[in-house]
Structure 1
Amino acid sequence: MSDPLNDKAFPVSWDQFHRDARALAWRLAEKGPFDSMVTITRGGLVPAAIVCRELGIRTIDTVSIASYDHGGTGEQTQGALAILKTVSSKILDTKGVGVLIIDDLVDTGKTAQEVRSMLPEAHFATVYAKPMGRPLVDTFVTEVSQDTWIYFPWDLGYSFVPPIAKDAGD
């Protein structure tokens, strides 16, 4: 599991995320058509909005699974999964046939495994993938190392960023 304070940082701007989500839609256009979409909240909401617009998908549902815990320390760690909201019975009844699952990232694969068990025949797509979770998704845009922490645009504000090399700013 990545530790955002000690690992590689991969900040993603709104422009970059939009481009990457549209690139995902381009890849998915060849895989469809899809009758419905299930997005994993909260991270999957933004790419889902972009992908459903690009692919013309109008039936959209969510599954809400909490896996990251702040533990009062401000540091995010991945803990036990908690299903906060499941998929509608109408979509569950399909077993995933014609269903597109969207998330922002597959990390360890724990959340992906849980959703795959609900919709085993669905096409699973993420914008970003890490090696541990990569085998669980069918389509993704960019793979990053397991020790990389992705900073999504909705988590960022503008601030000074020091150079990577300690003496580069002199």
Structure 2
Amino acid sequence: MNKLYYSYEMFKNDTLKLTSLSKGFKEDAILGIARGGLTLSHFMSQVLNQRNLFTINTISYDRKIQKDSVEIFNIPNLDGLKKVLIVDDIIDSGKTLQEVLKLLKEKYPKVEFKIATLFYKDKSLVKPDFSINKTDIWIEFFWEVDLDIKDKF
């Protein structure tokens, strides 16, 4: 399998670029998709000094295998917001984001949603509004690889 190790330094540089690209959106809040988007959404909220940082949980992978369905839970209350930046580390097939957007637009039809991501694939069903890297290989993010301690417990 063709893959890329994505280091902290790469992440830091790309996060600053992504934040610069998206800052014109002037979001009222950032919504990180857990788990992959948590590290990125936290860093972007720091750079943008955006204290309205929410998360939504999705499960669409079991390790490296994509599941047939997407589970979405812990939906935040976005009442009163006008613009929300949805943040995830990578858009692979786009199924997760497609389902998240569908649910959020039904629940909050007056909110404008835009998507920011570090990586996306051409085959994705959803294209990001802001992105840094297009890829067709597996990305091994430092937060998944460097702290791979789950087998030690």
TM-score over 0.5 for the pair: yes
Please identify runs of 4+ aligned residues in structure 1 that moved more than 3 A: none
- Aligned pair partner of 2:88 in 103, 106, 111: 103
Residue matched to 1:127: 118
Aligned mates of 1:99, 1:61 — CA distance in 2: 10
Residue matched to 2:143: 154
Aligned mates of 1:157, 1:126 — CA distance in 2: 21
Superposition pairs of residues 8-157 of structure 1, within 5 angstroms = 8-30=2-24, 32-70=25-63, 76-79=64-67, 80-88=69-77, 91=78, 93=79, 97-120=82-105, 121-133=112-124, 135-145=126-136, 148-157=137-146
Code of the residue aligned with 1:128 in structure 2: it is F
Cα pair 1:42 1:64 within 8 Å, conserved = yes
Describe the SS at the equivalent of 2:42.
helix
Cα deviation, residue 134, structure 1: 6.7
Aligned mates of 2:125, 2:131 — CA distance in 1: 8
> Percent of counterpart pairs with the same letter?
29
With structure 1 as the length reference, what TM-score do the two structures score? Answer: 0.76
Describe the SS at the equivalent of 2:41.
helix
Q: What does the per-residue CA deviation read over 1:115-161, in whole Å, with 9 as the maximum and x for residues that have no partner?
A: 2113343011111111122743111110001xx11000012249xxx
With structure 2 as the length reference, what TM-score do the two structures score? Answer: 0.84
Describe the SS at the equivalent of 1:116.
helix
Code of the residue aligned with 1:38 in structure 2: it is L
Cα pair 2:120 2:127 within 8 Å, conserved = no
Aligned mates of 2:103, 2:49 — CA distance in 1: 24
Code of the residue aligned with 1:46 in structure 2: it is T
Aligned mates of 2:125, 2:44 — CA distance in 1: 20
Cα deviation, residue 103, structure 1: 0.5
Q: Greater share of strand residues, 1 or 2?
A: 2
Describe the SS at the equivalent of 1:122.
strand
Describe the SS at the equivalent of 1:136.
coil
Give aligned pairs, total. Answer: 140
Q: Which runs of 5+ in 1 are unaligned?
A: 1-6, 71-75, 159-170
Cα pair 1:101 1:124 within 8 Å, conserved = yes
Residues 127 and 134 of structure 1: CA distance in aligned 2, closer, same or farther (over 3 Å): farther
